Structures are given as structure tokens and as C-alpha cells.
């Protein structure tokens, strides 16, 4: 049986945006900035219009309902599929890590 609750650690750097990948299919995730400085978040690494800042030791969380074609009792329709990129992160300095909490 797949895990329904997973923690992850992703090292980041100040040179490039790092993809944060969902380790399980889920509809909830939270990212904690374990770095001592702010990090930059983007939903598109090449578009500054999708950017936000997460302060040192801050946390970002996202909870969504099931996909529109969800059928109760049917196959999982999690919003974030296992292995998919949910957000891109870049350190302003330091190397992170980003700590993820993932709930199916």
C-alpha cells in the first residue's frame, strides 16, 4: 500500500531554480524553508510574474479538493501526481534545504 504521508528534503542553491517534485500523488503539500535566508518560489522558472518569496524558516502550504472529474470510490484524482513538479525554488543565499510534507 502506498504511503499517505511523506516527508522529503530537497537541497537548493542560489544559482538555479530547483524543481520540487511530489514524492506521492496528493492534494496537500507544505514546504518549509530550512535555510537561514529567504528563498524565491516560482510556478514557472522562466517567468518572474509567477514569483513569490518565502522568508527564512517560513512555510508555504497548498490544499486543494479533488480534480473536477473525481468519482467517489473511483481511482485517485489527486491534484499533484507522483513525480510531478509542484513548484520551483531558488535560494537567495545558502543551500536550503526545503522540507516537504505530502499528504494523499
pTM, two decimal places: 0.86
Query: In this predicted model, what pLDDT tens digit does every residue of 17-69 receive, in sequence order?
Result: 999 999 998 889 999 999 889 999 999 999 999 999 999 999 999 987 766 66
Residue 9: its H or E element: strand 5-10
CATH architecture of 5-66+76-103: Sandwich (2.60)
Question: Do residues 92 and 22 lie in contact, with contact meaning Cβ atoms separated by under 8 Å?
Answer: no
For the record, the C-alpha cell of 53 comes out as 518569496
pLDDT at 1: 45
The answer to whether residues 47 and 53 touch, using CB atoms and an 8 Å cutoff, is no
Residue-wise pLDDT tens digits, 69-87: 655 555 567 788 889 999 9
Q: Domain ranges in the chain? A: 5-66+76-103
Amino acid at each position: 500500500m502506498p504511503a499517505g504521508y511523506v516527508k522529503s528534503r530537497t537541497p537548493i542553491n542560489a544559482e538555479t531554480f530547483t524543481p520540487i517534485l511530489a514524492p506521492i500523488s496528493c492534494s496537500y503539500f507544505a514546504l518549509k524553508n530550512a535555510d537561514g535566508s529567504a528563498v524565491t518560489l516560482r510556478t514557472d522558472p522562466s517567468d518572474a510574474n509567477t514569483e513569490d518569496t518565502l522568508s527564512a524558516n517560513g512555510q508555504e502550504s497548498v490544499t486543494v479538493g479533488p480534480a473536477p472529474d473525481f468519482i467517489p470510490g473511483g481511482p485517485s484524482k489527486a491534484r499533484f501526481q507522483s513525480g510531478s513538479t509542484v513548484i520551483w525554488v531558488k535560494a537567495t543565499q545558502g543551500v536550503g534545504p526545503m522540507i516537504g510534507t505530502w499528504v494523499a
